[in-house]
Structures are given as structure tokens and as C-alpha cells.
């Protein structure tokens, strides 16, 4: 399951990028009970019962397929940090849906790829991160008649650099900072930048600094994540495209050259992890 970064600045709740850091999740049917093994991120905090997010997604999928097993054994090796805006919950949900589909005879025939995306979006509440996790690359996601949909685009000439702080943030708190309405001029501004960002990501990376400008969400959340906002500002002042990753608190830089990668990396705050990550393919599931 790849990490993902949603929004990418102006593409609030619709644009996503799959990144080359992966959770590994495997599962098998057992005769009874529930066994959960977790190592890596969240090993000391995630639930080991039916409330575990991968298990919840599996149960929802088994219900959809009409085939709840007698027991489950789940193993998670987590490398995507939790509560940092890098899609750890989307990865868990996609893993659960795909694992359950693979464990049911005929599951792939009953749930095609569109149905998997729709179910994962339903569980997550929005399709942006789960779309990027499932499809890989750069994704544009939307909801039509209550159903999550997405399409994949191949980015070109983009070098993602991720800055991960040592502390978690809350998606709920971040969403709570957003106003109920925004000025029409700000909405129009973001429409233009989101459209331009697709062009920038697919062959004109020199447009990335202007194409990643945003007026819909990052400014409203800045007070809750001052170090994140300060890093975004420093990177952008250096001419490097930078955005809050998802709801934060990580920062995503979209460098256009190797020199920009080096310049971005040099600006990493003390105590933050900084890593250049490749754009990733979508989810790959092992079950048995």
C-alpha cells in the first residue's frame, strides 16, 4: 500500500499523488477469532480488535460480498507514519477492501476495480487518498451520485520530496478550521491553479510554483500547524513548489530539478524526516 498526498495545494479533496513508501499487509482466514500483528508505525497505539481500520474495511467488504469468515489473522508492517497527512488511513482501508476481495472465492468478479474504489471511498468518506493509493500516479477523483470515481494521469518531470514532522496532527481538527463558505474570487483562483497543476505535473514542471498556489484551505489551517506553514513559506520563497500534504502536518515539495531537490532538502527543520520519494504505482495485495 503506497503512501499518498492529497490536495497538492489547489486540488482540495480531488487531486492525489501516490508516493513510494509502503505499508505491507497480509491476511488469512482462520478457524475462529481475530489475530492482529502490527509492527512499525502505530505499533504501540493502534487497536488489536474489530475497531482496527484494516479489519473494519475487511468486514465491510465481506458484508458486501456476503461471506464473513469464521476467523481472521492479519499482519501489518507499517511504514507510512500516522497522523501526518500521508494517507495512512487510506492505505489501511484499501488494504482491507483488497484483502477481503482476494480471500473470497469469486471476489474479484463480484467487486471490480470501480466497485473497490467506490467502497473504499465510502468507508474513507472521500475519494482523493484512496484513489491515489489504488491507482497510483497522479489521480483526479470526484463523487458522482454519491459514488467515488477517479482517473489516473502519469506525472512527468516531478521529484517529490516529503518533510515529516515528529508529531501527529488531527484531520478532524484540520477540517474543523475550514470556513463553511469562501469568497467567489478564491474559488475561481483555485480552479485556475488546479487546472494548471495538471499541466505542470504532466510535462511543464516549470509551472509548479504558481500551479500549487492555494486559497481554499492551507491559510485557514496555518495557525494549527505553524511549523508546517513556516516550512511551506520558506520553500516557496526559495522558488520551490511546496504544499501541505493532505490535512498535514507533513509538507510535500514538488521539485522540478535535482538542484531544487538539494535546495529543498537543505531547508528541512531539525527533527523532521526528509526524503525524496518516487511517484508510486497503486496497491499490490498479498493474501493467503
- What top-level class would CATH report for the domain 2-153? alpha beta
Contacts of 256 (CB under 8 A, 6+ apart): 157, 158, 159, 205, 206, 208, 241
- Give the pLDDT confidence of 62-90 residue by residue, as tens digits: 999 999 999 999 999 999 999 999 999 99
Position 284 scores a pLDDT of: 75
* Pairing mode of beta strands 273-276, 159-164: antiparallel
Q: How far is CA 221 from the centre of its chain?
A: 18
Give the Cβ contact number of residue 255 at 10 Å: 24
Instruction: Provide the grid cell at 188.
Output: 475561481
Residues of the chain where predicted confidence (pLDDT) is lower than 50: 287-288
2-153 and 159-276: same fold? no
Quote the percentage of the chain above a pLDDT of 90: 94
Position 170 scores a pLDDT of: 74
Domain 159-276 bears CATH identifier 3.50.50.60 = no
Give me the residues paired with residue 150 across strands.
Answer: 141
Position 169 scores a pLDDT of: 78
Position 286 scores a pLDDT of: 53
Position 287 scores a pLDDT of: 46
Domain positions in the chain are 2-153, 159-276
Position 285 scores a pLDDT of: 64
**Torsion of Cα atoms, 232 then 237 then 239 then 244, to 10°:** 10
Q: Are 279 and 155 in contact (CB under 8 A)?
A: yes
Indicate left, alpha or beta for 145 from its phi (over 0: left) and psi (-120 to 50: alpha): left
Amino acid at each position: 500500500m503506497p503512501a499518498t498526498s492529497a490536495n497538492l495545494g489547489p486540488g482540495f479533496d480531488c487531486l492525489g499523488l501516490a508516493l513510494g513508501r509502503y505499508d505491507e499487509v497480509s491476511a488469512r482466514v482462520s478457524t475462529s477469532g481475530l489475530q492482529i500483528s502490527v509492527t512499525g508505525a502505530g505499533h504501540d497505539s493502534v487497536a488489536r480488535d474489530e475497531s482496527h481500520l484494516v479489519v473494519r474495511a475487511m468486514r465491510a467488504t465481506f458484508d458486501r460480498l456476503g461471506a464473513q469468515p469464521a476467523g481472521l489473522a492479519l499482519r501489518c508492517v507499517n511504514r507510512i507514519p500516522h497522523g501526518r497527512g500521508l494517507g495512512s488511513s487510506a492505505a489501511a482501508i484499501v488494504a482491507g477492501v483488497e484483502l477481503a476481495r482476494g480471500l473470497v472465492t469469486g471476489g474479484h468478479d463480484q467487486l471490480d476495480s470501480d466497485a473497490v474504489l467506490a467502497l473504499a471511498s465510502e468507508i474513507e468518506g472521500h475519494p482523493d487518498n484512496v484513489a491515489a493509493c489504488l491507482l497510483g500516479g497522479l489521480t483526479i477523483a470526484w463523487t458522482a451520485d454519491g459514488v467515488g470515481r477517479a482517473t489516473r494521469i502519469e506525472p512527468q518531470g516531478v521529484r517529490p520530496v516529503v518533510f515529516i514532522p515528529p508529531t501527529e496532527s488531527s484531520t478532524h481538527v484540520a477540517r474543523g478550521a475550514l470556513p463553511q463558505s469562501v469568497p467567489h474570487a478564491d474559488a475561481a483562483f483555485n480552479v485556475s491553479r488546479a487546472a494548471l497543476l495538471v499541466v505542470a505535473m504532466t510535462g511543464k514542471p516549470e509551472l509548479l510554483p504558481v500551479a500549487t498556489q492555494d486559497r481554499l484551505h492551507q491559510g485557514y489551517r496555518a495557525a494549527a500547524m505553524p511549523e508546517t506553514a513556516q516550512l511551506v513559506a520558506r520553500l516557496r520563497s526559495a522558488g520551490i513548489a511546496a504544499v501541505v500534504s493532505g490535512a498535514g502536518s507533513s509538507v510535500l515539495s514538488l521539485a522540478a530539478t535535482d538542484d531544487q531537490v538539494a535546495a529543498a532538502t537543505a531547508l528541512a527543520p531539525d527533527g523532521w524526516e526528509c526524503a525524496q520519494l518516487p511517484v508510486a504505482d497503486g496497491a499490490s495485495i498479498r493474501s493467503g
